[in-house]
């Protein structure tokens, strides 16, 4: 029985397995520049974040209809459930779809259809977080938030905003205005920071964007003062160990700083990021760190517990304090 866990750092577009990509390409008459699924898998030789993003955005061409997004999310939820995921807070990249002429309604209705039946079918509760592409303009992010208004909680499934894509050169402060607008709308706020970017981007995501969780946050270890702050304020970090190896944020998994981060008292969680591209889902990431880093059963339980503490779920203490 896999440990029950919440997944908090998962890009739904990153769950597109080669087999589904080819099936959707055939369904939609999209020509892929790969002979078959093996040829596509062979292309998964990333050297950094950008080399991954180029392939990831390219393959999204097969996602066109509401059914495509529903099938994508349903396939992820089935796999996640099999690996012990009981709650998933799922990222999507609306701008990447809007730019291809796929409407917000198509994306959210498709994902929403799978999410609506997820508890009954897979036993996984879900929330949706829309991410702004940080290499697009601040104006585009604001426009995207405007387009998403009909789909925001409580009427719609979108509970929060995030920030992803190419990090270096696109500091969090660029998105101050859209995060302020999101906060005013009652949305939760997270941001990728400190994956490839410097520790200062983590500080900026907290101070300028009001981020409640940091996605990745790996490079905080370079700044002891920042580590002390993250520990003191119990700021959750959504680490993605297999992603870090595949995108070369760490050389090998055995050198991942996760054990030292836990020892330092950081509220770390383990997640899959883009499991179809990086070699595994949430449970696979847990298994990989257990083996490569020799994590004890207590440490693994701590990670699983952290995932629920860091989730945007209503906790018992919240309920009691009302
Ligand atoms: N970092 C930034 N952007 C992303 C990622 C990531 O790990 N995955 C999908 N978009
Ligand atoms: Zn990510």
Residue 46, sorted as left (phi over 0), alpha (psi -120 to 50) or beta, turns out to be: beta
Q: How far is the CA of 285 from the centre of ligand 2 (A)?
A: 14
Q: Which residues are annotated as a binding site for Zn(2+)?
A: 9, 11, 192, 273
pLDDT of residue 322: 44
Could you count the other beta carbons within 10 Å of the beta carbon of residue 320? Answer: 7
Contact at 8 Å (CB) between 39 and 27?
no
Q: Is the CB of 49 under 6 A from ligand 1?
A: yes
User: pLDDT per position in the chain (322 positions), as tens?
Assistant: 899 999 999 999 999 999 999 999 999 999 999 999 999 999 999 999 999 999 999 999 999 999 999 999 999 999 999 999 999 999 999 999 999 999 999 999 999 999 999 999 999 999 999 999 999 999 999 999 999 999 999 999 999 999 999 999 999 999 999 999 999 999 999 999 999 999 999 999 999 999 999 999 999 999 999 999 999 999 999 999 999 999 999 999 999 999 999 999 999 999 999 999 999 999 999 999 999 999 999 999 999 999 999 999 976 555 454 4
Ligand 1, residue 196: give the atom nearest the CA. 1
- Give Cα separations from 36 to 13, 64, 114, 187, 303 (angstroms): 19, 20, 27, 41, 37
Q: How far is the CA of 132 from the centre of ligand 2 (A)?
A: 12
Q: Is the CB of 192 under 6 A from ligand 1?
A: yes
Residue 277 CA: which ligand is closest?
1
Task: Look up tokens 């330092």; give the residue.
Answer: 264
- Give Cα separations from 213 to 14, 262, 322 (angstroms): 20, 16, 23
Q: If you ran DSSP here, which 8-state letter would residue 180 be given?
A: H
Q: Is the CB of 13 under 6 A from ligand 1?
A: no
Contact at 8 Å (CB) between 246 and 279?
yes
Which domains does the chain show, CATH number per domain?
Answer: 5-311 (3.20.20.140)
Q: If you ran DSSP here, which 8-state letter would residue 13 be given?
A: G
Ligand 1, residue 216: give the atom nearest the CA. 7
Q: Is the CB of 195 under 6 A from ligand 1?
A: yes
Nearest alpha carbon, ligand 1 atom 2: 165
- CA neighbours within 13 Å on the CB side: how many for 277? 32
Find all residues with CB under 8 Å of 147, minimum gap 6, and list them. Answer: 94, 98, 104
Closest CA to 16 of 51, 46, 41: 41
- Starting at the earlier edge strand, list the strands of the sheet with 188-193: 5-11, 85-92, 125-133, 158-164, 188-193, 213-216, 237-239, 268-270
Angle at 69 between CA 68 and CA 73, to 5 degrees: 120
In angstroms, the CA 142 to CA 136 distance is 11
In angstroms, the CA 119 to CA 159 distance is 17
Contact at 8 Å (CB) between 226 and 194?
no
Ligand 1, residue 247: give the atom nearest the CA. 7
Tens of pLDDT, residue by residue over 85-122, are 999 999 999 999 999 999 999 999 999 999 999 999 99
Query: Which of the residues 7, 136, 195, 204 is marked catalytic?
Result: 195
In angstroms, the CA 183 to CA 38 distance is 44
In angstroms, the CA 38 to CA 274 distance is 18
Ligand 1, residue 165: give the atom nearest the CA. 3
Q: Is the CB of 189 under 6 A from ligand 1?
A: no
Q: Is the CB of 14 under 6 A from ligand 1?
A: yes
pLDDT of residue 148: 98
pLDDT of residue 159: 98
Task: Look up tokens 């992010």; give the residue.
Answer: 141
pLDDT of residue 314: 78
- CA neighbours within 13 Å on the CB side: how many for 160? 23
Active site residue 195: yes
pLDDT of residue 318: 57
Report residues near ion ligand 2: CB below 5 Å: 273
Tokens coding 60: 């999204």
Task: Look up tokens 């739904």; give the residue.
Answer: 12
In angstroms, the CA 75 to CA 64 distance is 16
Peptide bond preceding 154: is omega within 30 degrees of 0, i.e. cis? yes
pLDDT of residue 1: 83
How many Å is the Cα radius of gyration of the chain? Answer: 18
Q: How far is the CA of 217 from the centre of ligand 1 (A)?
A: 12
């Amino acid at each position: 029985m896999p440990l029950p866990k919440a997944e908090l750092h998962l890009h739904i577009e990153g769950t597109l397995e080669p087999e589904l990509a080819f099936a959707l390409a055939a369904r939609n008459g999209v020509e892929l520049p790969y002979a078959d699924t093996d040829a596509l898998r062979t292309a998964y030789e990333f050297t950094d974040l950008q080399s991954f993003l180029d392939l990831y955005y390219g393959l999204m061409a097969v996602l066109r209809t509401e059914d495509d997004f529903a099938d994508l999310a349903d396939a992820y939820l089935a796999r996640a459930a099999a690996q012990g995921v009981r709650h998933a807070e799922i990222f999507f990249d609306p701008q990447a779809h809007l730019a291809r002429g796929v409407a917000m309604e198509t994306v959210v209705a498709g994902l929403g259809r799978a999410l609506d039946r997820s508890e009954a079918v897979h036993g996984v509760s879900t929330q949706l977080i829309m991410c702004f592409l940080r290499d697009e303009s601040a104006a585009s992010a604001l426009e995207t938030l405007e387009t998403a208004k009909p789909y925001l909680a409580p009427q719609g499934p979108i509970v929060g905003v995030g920030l992803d894509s190419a990090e270096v050169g696109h500091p969090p402060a660029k998105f101050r205005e859209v995060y302020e607008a999101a906060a005013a709308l009652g949305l939760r706020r997270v941001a990728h920071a400190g994956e490839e970017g410097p520790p200062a981007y983590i500080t900026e995501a907290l101070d300028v964007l009001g981020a409640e969780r940091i996605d990745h946050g790996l490079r905080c270890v370079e700044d002891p003062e920042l580590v002390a702050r993250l520990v003191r304020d119990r700021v959750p970090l959504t680490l993605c160990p297999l992603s870090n190896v595949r995108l070369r944020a760490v050389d090998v998994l055995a050198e991942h700083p996760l054990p030292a981060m836990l020892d330092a008292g950081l509220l770390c969680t383990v997640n899959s990021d883009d499991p179809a591209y990086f070699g595994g889902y949430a449970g696979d990431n847990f298994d990989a760190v257990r083996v490569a880093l020799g994590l004890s059963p207590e440490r693994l339980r701590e990670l699983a517990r952290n995932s629920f503490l860091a989730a945007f779920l209503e906790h018992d203490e919240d309920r009691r304090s009302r």
